[in-house]
Amino acid sequence: NAGVTQTPKFQVLKTGQSMTLQCAQDMNHNSMYWYRQDPGMGLRLIYYSASEGTTDKGEVPNGYNVSRLNKREFSLRLESAAPSQTSVYFCASMPSRETQYFGPGTRLLVL
């Protein structure tokens, strides 16, 4: 039981490049979430998926898209990366009301 896994762990992009951050969970959780973590700002919700086949915007969705590929996987895509998207990205999943389990994070640097 690996819990929540994320790939890659670290990525450097140039402005305008695209990439997809991958997240998978093996706990059969219905809900999955993408957050970004920036110094002094805590974690902010980008997108979430309450169940397979549904996605909704969070607090800071601009510049991102998501895909809930199946119950296990929830990917985050940056179509045209910008320096403002330099951050640490966390994926989380939730089995029932309110206790979320987090992945180890992806550190992204956009030059």
Interacting residue ranges for other proteins, rule: CB under 8 A: 4, 31, 33, 40-45, 48, 50, 58, 90, 92, 94, 97-105
Distance separating alpha carbons of residues 83 and 86, to the nearest angstrom: 6
- Rounded to the nearest whole angstrom, what is the least distance from the CB of residue 99 to other proteins in the complex? 6
Cis peptide bond upstream of 8, omega within 30: yes
- Rounded to the nearest whole angstrom, what is the least distance from the CB of residue 45 to other proteins in the complex? 6
Tell me the torsion sign for CA atoms 82, 87, 88, 90.
Answer: negative
Q: State which residue, 17 or 88, has the beta carbon closest to other proteins.
A: 88
- Rounded to the nearest whole angstrom, what is the least distance from the CB of residue 51 to other proteins in the complex? 10
* Identity of residue 35: Y
Q: State which residue, 72 or 101, has the beta carbon closest to other proteins.
A: 101
Identify the CA nearest to 76 among candidates 65, 85, 86, 91: 65
Q: State which residue, 33 or 74, has the beta carbon closest to other proteins.
A: 33
